Amino acid sequence: MIDFEYEAPTTLENATELLASHAGKTAILAGGTDILVQLREGHRSVDLVVDVKNIPDLNTLNWSSETGLTLGASVACSRIFADPDVQQAYPAIVDSAQIIGGWQIQSRASIGGNLCNASPAADTIPGLMVHQAQCVIHGSRGARTIPVQDMCTGPGLNALQDDELLVELRLPAPAAQSSSAYERFIPRNEMDIAVAGAASWVQLDESKTQIVAARIALGAVAPTPVAAQEAADWLVGKPAVEDSFAQAGELAKQVASPISDMRGTKQYRVHLASVLTKRTLQRAAERAAS
């Protein structure tokens, strides 16, 4: 393991000072399940590891039916998926948080970290996208907020400046008769990186048979997670039946531009994108109806 210094600031100001003073040679440590692997494998060169788990602002988990969810960036997945409000309002988030690695990983890994790590295959990002999450970022020049789909700028690259850290995610309260789902395809049943992933959000009408709004986001099939806008728009006004979902899947896969690598070929991933879109739309609709 490379040599580095370690600090565990307890305030945002302290954290941004540390980040600013080491000019890009820092790593932010929340759960550590990605970053420590990267440091150990020599993929990153850092002088200082800044542990942000002791900053109260990053540990919040607050929900209200008016304002929605405030999720601190270092809150562990295991705390997130156990929360009854999150389970009720953001099932896609729960779906993804429960399958990132095994229990040992989920006890530490955070959604904020999963987002900032910006793997194209990140499990939580499609769900954050369909729930229209906003990222609250803090730096030496103050705070700013960006939509979650702007956070990932390329494989392993995020929109944070050297002196910035992600503080929290804000998810609006979901509309009535709406729900979501996330599903990924992996060769085993656990412990794999997604070959393809899809999150869907669906809002039904009062009769619960017709779709009034939808959002779809795909993971692992492009350099960053990507929204399938055309497919989502097409669903508006369509009946909430399998045929609609299948057709939406065919539309959604058109935004997929995956690579072929050892986890899957391009052709296979595109196909999976349509299958997973169909399946998550189905599940989201079932949840919205119940």
Partner 1 sequence: MANKRLVTTTINGEVFEFLCRPQQSLLEILRDELRLTGAKEGCNNGNCGACTVLLNGAPVNSCLVLAVEVDGAELQTVEGIACSGELHPLQQCFLEGAALQCGICTPGFLVAAKALLDENPAATEQEIRFTLAGNLCRCTGYDKIVRAIQAAGAQMQTATP
Partner 2 sequence: MVEKTEYKVIGTRPIRHDGADKVTGRAIYTDDFQLPGMLHGKIVRSPFPHARIKSIDTSAAEQYPGVFAVVTAADFPNLTDKIANLGEGAVNLVHLASNVLAHKKALYKGHAVAAVAANSSHVAEAAAALIKVEYEQLPSVTSIAEAMRDDAPLLHENLVTDSPLGENSDKPSNVATHLHFEKGDVAQGFAEADLIVEREFQTATVHQGYIEPHVSVALWNEDQRVKIWTATQGSFTCRQQTAELLQIPVSQVTVTPCEIGGGFGGKIAVYLEPVAAMLSRKSGRPVKLIMERDAIFEASGPTPGSSMRVKIGARQDGRLVAAEAWLAYDAGAFPGGVIGPGCMCVFSCYDLEHAVVDGYDVLNNKPKTQAYRAPGATQAAFACESVVDEIAETLKMDPIELRLLNAAKEGTRRVDGPVYPRIGQVETLQAAQASEHYNAPLDGQNRGRGIASGFWFNCGLKSSAAANVNDDGTVTLIEGSTDIGGTRASLAMQLAETLGITAEEVHPQVADTDSIGYTDVTGGSRVTFATGLATYEVGLDIQNQMCQRASVLWDCNPEDVQVSNGTYSCNGHSLSFKELAARLPETGDPVVGRASVSPDCSTNGFCTNIVDVEVDPETGKVTILRFTVVQDVGRAIHPSYVEGQMQGGAVQGIGWALNEEYFYDGSDCMKNASFLDYRMPTLFDVPMIDTIIVEVPNPDHPYGVRGVGEPPIVAPPAAVANAIRAAAGVRMTQLPMSPPVLWNAMQNQSRSVSD
Q: Closest separation between CB of residue 53 and partner 2, Å?
A: 24
Helix (H, G, I), strand (E, B) or coil at 13: helix
**Contact call for residue 101 and partner 1 (CB under 8 A):** yes
Helix (H, G, I), strand (E, B) or coil at 181: strand
Q: Which of residues 236-265 bind partner 2 (CB under 8 A)?
A: 261-265
The site partner of 228 among partner 2, partner 1, none (C-beta below 5 to 8 Å per kind) is none
103-142 footprint of partner 1 as x/- string (CB under 8 A):
xxx-xx----------------------------------
Token pair for residue 156?
Answer: 């392993």
**Contact call for residue 2 and partner 1 (CB under 8 A):** yes
The site partner of 275 among partner 2, partner 1, none (C-beta below 5 to 8 Å per kind) is partner 2
**Contact call for residue 272 and partner 2 (CB under 8 A):** yes
Token pair for residue 5?
Answer: 């210094």
**Contact call for residue 191 and partner 2 (CB under 8 A):** yes
Helix (H) or strand (E) holding 97, with range, is helix 91-97
DSSP E strands: which ranges in 130-253? 134-139, 142-147, 152-154, 157-158, 165-171, 178-185, 196-204, 211-219, 226-227
- CA gap 268, 46 in Å, rounded: 37
User: Could you tell me how many helices (H) and strands (E) the chain has, helices first?
Assistant: 11, 14
Which residues are at the interface with partner 2 (CB under 8 A)? 1, 3, 102, 185, 187-193, 261-265, 268, 271-272, 275
Which residues are at the interface with partner 1 (CB under 8 A)? 1-6, 8, 29, 31-33, 36-37, 40-41, 49, 51, 53, 76, 78, 101-105, 107-108, 189-191
